[in-house]
């Protein structure tokens, strides 16, 4: 039996999680079966990050269709994983791309005819025409007075929208509320901007909100949509463009239909409505594969060092340990997993694990054993890097159960 264990620093919470899984009450392991099939019996150089393109494609198609039912355009946040296999399938199934700089734009497929590119950069940008060089429609987001003035001074003909801080639109009761963001306009900044003669001569076409919390819920997006609607009165015309950004990965599939219908009701056509997911597409599609390269302690305080590093290979992921269990499991112990670097805080966390007699043997955490981690974000591919002799993880993309040429 294989179970999926989240890290837990609390003994009771960890034990409750295990009890649910062992009794079949917990959620099923959210990993594409093709990943297990491909790894079975295969010698693999580690560390490695393995992603199944068929799972990602299915999620892209499903979300794009759900959005299209309300004539909402689904874009890929390129920063989430600017890799050619992902960009290629996004070109086939999505309405366009969200980019933050010219390097991301230049990584896109050569022909973007009929696609939309949303440019949202934390920097002042020059040569906006370069972001429309591949036949795409371009929409520009500005998130400060300085950036707006810079854009207007260039005389670019592309529509622009203003980025609003998500915390300005949420009640403090929402779990994802924060009033701390360095991106976007606050209410006083927005009032100041809209009073400028140059902005009044060329007003923005709408709003953009990207609330990047890891715990955004359906209610969070309802508040954001309603908040943007209230801002609409500050524009001389009804908004022509609404960009609801990313951060959708904690919203359940069944809630998306209602959210998109609500967005379309609040912002009826011909208003263009965009969403820009990234991590959402990779849910359940990836595994990190490593090896135990050092260990200390015994059954009561086992610590393992992996050749996977949180800071090099697993950044922006919340890894879960896939571990075998022999039933009946007679004992429980907390195991610490550390990363490969010399950085003290390079830690994957502590995991409560069940076992029968020998903890390291029963959980396959002995020296040289392969370790599988689930819940790996596409962003970990984007961040994948080496450090001080630690190599980047080898990247594998599967299609139809077969691996494309691996990359490092």
- Per-residue pLDDT of 201-254, as tens digits, reads 999 999 999 988 888 999 999 999 999 999 988 999 999 999 999 999 889 888
* DSSP secondary structure letters along 175-236: TT--S--SSSB-HHHHHHHHTSHHHHHS---EEE-----TT--HHHHHHHHHHHHHHGGGSS
Amino acid 408: pLDDT: 65
The answer on pLDDT for 25 being more than 80 is no
Is the CB of residue 57 less than 8 Å from the CB of residue 64?
Answer: no
Q: Would you state the structure tokens that stand for residue 326, as one six-digit string?
A: 């022999």
Provide the pLDDT confidence category of residue 354 given band limits of 50, 70 and 90: confident
How would you classify the pairing of strands 72-77 and 303-306? unpaired
If one compares 250 and 70, the residue with the highest pLDDT of the two is 70
Please, which residues have CB within 8 angstroms of residue 217's CB and are 6 or more apart in sequence? 174, 175, 176, 250, 251
Provide the pLDDT confidence category of residue 36 given band limits of 50, 70 and 90: very high
Going by C-alpha positions, the residue among 119, 130, 127, 210 that lies closest to residue 163 is: 210
Please, which residues have CB within 8 angstroms of residue 23's CB and are 6 or more apart in sequence? none
**Which neighbouring-strand residues pair with 394?**
48
pLDDT tens per residue across span 313-332? 999 999 999 999 887 777 88
Q: Which domains does the chain have, with CATH numbers?
A: 2-52+283-403 (2.40.37.10), 54-282 (3.20.20.10)
């Amino acid at each position: 039996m294989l179970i999926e264990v989240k890290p837990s620093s609390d003994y009771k919470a960890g034990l409750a999680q295990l009890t649910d899984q062992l009794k079949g009450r917990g959620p099923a392991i959210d990993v594409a079966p093709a990943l297990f099939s491909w790894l079975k019996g295969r010698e693999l150089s580690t560390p490695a990050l393995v992603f199944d393109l068929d799972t990602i494609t299915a999620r892209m198609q499903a979300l794009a269709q759900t959005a299209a039912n309300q004539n909402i355009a689904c874009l890929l946040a390129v920063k989430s994983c600017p890799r050619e296999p992902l960009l290629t399938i996004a070109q086939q199934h999505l309405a366009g791309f969200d980019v933050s700089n010219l390097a991301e734009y230049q990584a896109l497929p050569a022909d973007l005819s009929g696609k939309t590119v949303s440019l949202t950069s934390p920097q002042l940008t020059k040569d906006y025409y370069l972001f429309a060089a591949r036949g795409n429609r371009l929409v520009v987001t500005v998130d400060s007075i300085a950036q707006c003035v810079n854009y207007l001074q260039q005389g670019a003909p592309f529509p622009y929208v203003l980025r609003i801080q998500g915390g300005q639109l949420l009640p403090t009761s929402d779990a994802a509320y924060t009033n701390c963001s360095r991106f976007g306009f606050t209410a006083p900044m927005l009032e100041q901007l809209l009073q400028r003669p140059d902005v009044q001569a060329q007003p923005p076409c709408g709003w953009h909100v990207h609330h990047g919390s890891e715990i955004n819920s359906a209610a969070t997006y309802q508040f954001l949509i309603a908040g943007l609607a209230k801002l609409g009165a500050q524009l001389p015309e009804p908004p022509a463009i609404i960009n609801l950004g990313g951060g959708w990965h904690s919203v359940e599939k069944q809630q998306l239909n209602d959210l998109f219908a609500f967005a379309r009701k609040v912002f009826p056509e011909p208003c263009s409505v965009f969403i820009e997911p990234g991590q959402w597409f990779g849910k359940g599609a990836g595994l990190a594969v490593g090896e135990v390269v050092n260990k200390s302690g015994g059954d009561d305080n086992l610590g393992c060092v992996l050749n996977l590093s949180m800071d090099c290979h697993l950044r922006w992921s919340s890894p879960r340990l896939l571990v075998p269990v022999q039933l009946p499991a007679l004992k429980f112990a907390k195991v610490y997993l550390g990363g490969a670097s010399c950085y003290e805080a390079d830690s994957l966390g502590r995991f409560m694990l069940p076992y029968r007699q020998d903890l390291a043997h029963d959980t396959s955490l002995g020296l040289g054993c392969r370790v599988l981690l689930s819940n790996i974000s596409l962003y970990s591919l984007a961040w994948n890097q080496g450090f001080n002799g630690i190599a980047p993880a080898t990247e594998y993309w599967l299609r139809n159960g077969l691996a494309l040429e691996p990359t490092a």
